[in-house]
Amino acid sequence: MFARPPTAILLRNDTLLTYETRQPLQRAIGYFGMDAWILKLFAEKYNFRPMVFGTTDNRTFGYNVNGTYTGTVRDLVSGYSDIAFNQHFILDYNSQDVLPSGPVDYDALCVVVPPGEVLSKWELMLQSFGYKLVLVFCVLSFMLVAFFWVLSINAPRRPTCNDSFFFMYAMLCGAPVVPQPKVCSQRMLIGCCAIFGVLATNSLQSQMVTMLSRARPPSQLIRTLKQLDESGMVIITGSDSLTTTTFQGDNPLLQRLLAKVITPYNMTEYYRMLQSGEVARLNRRNSMKATELDYLLPECPREYFLGYLLPQCSPFLEPLNRLLSLLHANGLLSFFKDKSYFDYHRRNLGGLWAQGDTIRVKLGDMYGPFCMLFAGHFTAFGALLGEQAVHRATAYLGRLLRDWRSRPAPARRGAGRRPGL
């Protein structure tokens, strides 16, 4: 970016303290630990020290004289120069290079909502099943019961409808087959039902374990500003300026929310209302301290894009635009937007709560087990046709044998003569 690297750049508006004390990097910039180490690498990369030095000619920083930029760095850090620097940095762990990001930042005025009562494990498990899945399972179960009862027409002892109902539902739930059926078609149907039970149990068990091991979402989630308005929840704020800048406008939804915004008289009342768990609050996103008792509403009433403006005559305009376009193309600005939030990871969990990200067992997850049931229907139906053919053939042959045995034996010659004649 620079034709000549500047001799010193301060990355924080702490000019007087730094200029008078001239402490090392950690004290001058106000960073410690890993941040101070990264800034040290950054300073070594661009050959500057974290102290404010003015040039000898006392010209404004940013003027180009014969290819050399002159002026005081104090103008840069005090906000009177043509360019300013932010405090975002990129560390490339492959090359160990430290690169500055574009001078941009993000913020928003958002609503923090208490999550409400947390669902129990059983309620969460029952809500995870879709109505289509339950409907298909019930229809197939009744078809299996009726089909099993039809197959028992050739059984030595035909069970009743109640016996068929409880027997097949026990099979679908994974219970052992007691007693074993003696008809081939019933055995084939029960074998496919047993495979269905194994596949369905494995599929459901894996999803249930994943769901129950995760954080439980609240029972009543507020995902949008419209749902916040419908809930009737009061919104509190500790600053009057948030009321005047957030919900002002012609939007009817924002006007209704503005009527619900109140400002407590003092901090004691503010914290007392906040601890009640029945009110929402307005806050800046970058300064919000997230807890497990509330979450950030994903839909913010107002968002801000904070950047540094440069005049057209600035010598840094072209290289800065080139750097910004490079960062946009690589998606790094979105990365900084996410990582710039305080306590981002916990708020990310809150965002998942607000989106209702719960595992639901869908019909598509059970295609394999249901296909096994259909295969059981077809194979059992084929076996039933074979059994009927065998029974008919056996009955026909038995009837022929009985007819043959029932015929009178033919009279032998001379059987009616009296002896001696």
Inter-axis angle of helices 184-213 and 367-406, to 10 degrees? 170
Q: 301 and 173 share a domain? A: yes
In a domain, 37, yes or no: yes
Percentage, residues of the chain above pLDDT 90: 0
pLDDT at 158: 66
Tokens of 171: 């099979």
Q: 240 and 267 share a domain? A: yes
In a domain, 36, yes or no: yes
Q: 235 and 334 share a domain? A: yes
Q: 273 and 221 share a domain? A: yes
Q: 285 and 142 share a domain? A: yes
Tokens of 219: 């029972």
Alpha-carbon distance of 74 to 155, in angstroms, equals 99
Residues of the domain holding 35: 15-100
Q: 222 and 272 share a domain? A: yes
Q: 51 and 129 share a domain? A: no
Q: How open is the CA angle 328-87-4, to the nearest 5 degrees? A: 80
In a domain, 2, yes or no: no
DSSP 152: G
Q: 298 and 151 share a domain? A: yes
In a domain, 41, yes or no: yes
Domain boundary among 50, 77, 100: 100
In a domain, 187, yes or no: yes
Alpha-carbon distance of 211 to 125, in angstroms, equals 8
Alpha-carbon distance of 104 to 99, in angstroms, equals 15
Domain boundary among 78, 100, 122: 100
Alpha-carbon distance of 74 to 10, in angstroms, equals 8
In a domain, 10, yes or no: no
In a domain, 121, yes or no: yes
pLDDT at 255: 82
State yes or no: cis peptide before 179, omega within 30 of 0: yes
pLDDT at 324: 66
Q: 242 and 351 share a domain? A: yes
Write out the H or E segment, with its range, that includes residue 162. Answer: helix 161-172
Q: 177 and 270 share a domain? A: yes
In a domain, 24, yes or no: yes
Q: 164 and 145 share a domain? A: yes
SS3 helix, strand, coil % of the chain, rounded to 5? 50, 10, 40
Q: 198 and 346 share a domain? A: yes
Domain boundary among 36, 71, 100: 100
pLDDT at 210: 62
Q: Are 50 and 39 in contact (CB under 8 A)?
A: yes
Residue range 40-76, pLDDT digits in tens: 665 565 554 544 444 444 444 444 455 444 444 444 4
Number of structural domains the chain divides into: 2
Alpha-carbon distance of 54 to 191, in angstroms, equals 88
Stretches in the chain below the pLDDT threshold 50? 1-32, 48, 50-64, 67-91, 93, 100-103, 307-309, 311, 342-347, 351, 354-355
Q: Strand pairing of 89-92 and 68-70?
A: unpaired
